[in-house]
Amino acid sequence: MLTCYGVELASRLFLGTAQYPSPAILADTVRASGTEVVTVSLRRETAGGASGGRFWELIRELGVRVLPNTAGCHSVKEAVTTARMAREVFATDWIKLEVIGNHDTLQPDVFGLVESARILSEEGFSVFPYTTDDLVVAERLLEAGCKVLMPWCAPIGSAAGPLNVRALRSLRAHFPDTPLIVDAGLGRPSHAAAVMELGFDAVLLNTAVAKAGDPAGMAHAFAGAVEAGLEAYRAGIVEPRETAVPSTPVIGQAVFS
Ligand SMILES: CC(=O)[C@@H](O)[C@H](O)COP(=O)(O)O
């Protein structure tokens, strides 16, 4: 079980709700993924334009927990205000905090992120900060009150997969007891398996599933990959070597007559 802010989760796959062709496909996808947490933007359109009451009703029917997000916010003021509104609308203290600093890369403004995280943590929010893979920023976020970190592995929507495995490894090594959820940039199930094999606790993704030819099928594939990666990490992965090592030890010599 993964525990985030005191809530136990069996599924290690968090899903975004944007860009699906229709609300029905979103619903099928959420079910196929087995996810227990979906992230919802207060500011952006959700599946197929479903909005307001209709969208809320759909989420309720699916029985999943909502992680509201501040997607589209570019300043501390915007992010904090959006988080406060999300708390009212979705009746939860959970917030996926995004403060975007660059239009091209959608890279987080880590200074604004830390400041917003501090304000919101002091107000009792359970903050899930969307951050880079920078170690020092991660430390500052923990000092600001975050109990979970969400480092990217590549820019949002890029589907590029883990770009800096060393940095991800380093984060895992430095924060062994903090739930680390890779958020953004995963493009295919093997990417999800790869970060879970590094010991990450969960993944959050949207584009790779919502934009797939068959979103429900892709979500199911991601769910399997996340489980496989987790199981492999727990089982103890053999590290790569520079030289060959015979996998079959030879005792004595074969005798041919
Ligand atoms: C939906 C959401 O929160 C995104 O901002 C998130 O970061 C997912 O990124 P991908 O679309 O790259 O999976």
Read off the pLDDT of residues 51-95 as tens digits, 9 standing for 90 and up: 667 778 888 899 999 999 999 999 999 999 999 999 998 899 999
Question: Is the CB of 18 within 6 Å of ligand 1?
Answer: yes
pLDDT over 70 (residue 154): yes
What average pLDDT score do residues 150-172 get?
A: 97
Helix axes 215-235, 23-33, angle to 10 degrees: 20
Percent of the chain with pLDDT over 70: 94
Catalytic residue chosen out of the listed positions 77, 96, 147, 211: 96
Q: What is the pLDDT of residue 250?
A: 78
Question: Is the CB of 73 within 6 Å of ligand 1?
Answer: no
Q: How far apart are the first and last CA of the chain?
A: 59
Q: What is the pLDDT of residue 151?
A: 98
Q: What is the pLDDT of residue 251?
A: 75
For residue range 201-239, list pLDDT tens digits in order. Answer: 999 999 999 999 999 999 999 999 999 999 999 999 999
Q: What is the pLDDT of residue 50?
A: 60
pLDDT over 70 (residue 49): no
Question: Comparing 16-25, 37-46, 57-66, which segment has the lowest mean pLDDT?
Answer: 37-46
Spatial separation of the C-alpha atoms in residues 4 and 9, rounded to whole Å: 8
In this prediction the pTM is 0.92
185 carries a ligand binding annotation:
yes
Q: What is the pLDDT of residue 44?
A: 58
Average confidence score pLDDT of the chain: 93
| Ligand 1 centroid, distance to 158 Cα (angstroms) | 10
Choosing from 13, 133, 191, 205 the residue with most ligand 1 atoms within 8 A of its CB, the one to mutate for a pocket test is: 205
* DSSP letters for 234-255: HH-PPPP-SS---SS---S---
Could you give the angle at the alpha carbon of 204 between the alpha carbons of 203 and 205, nearest 5°?
120
Nearest CA to 191 out of 238, 154, 156 is that of 154
| Ligand 1 centroid, distance to 27 Cα (angstroms) | 18
Question: Is the CB of 157 within 6 Å of ligand 1?
Answer: yes
| Ligand 1 centroid, distance to 188 Cα (angstroms) | 13
User: pLDDT-based confidence at 247, cuts 50/70/90?
Assistant: confident
Number of Cβ within a 10 Å radius of residue 235:
7
Is 96 one of the catalytic residues? yes
User: pLDDT-based confidence at 27, cuts 50/70/90?
Assistant: very high
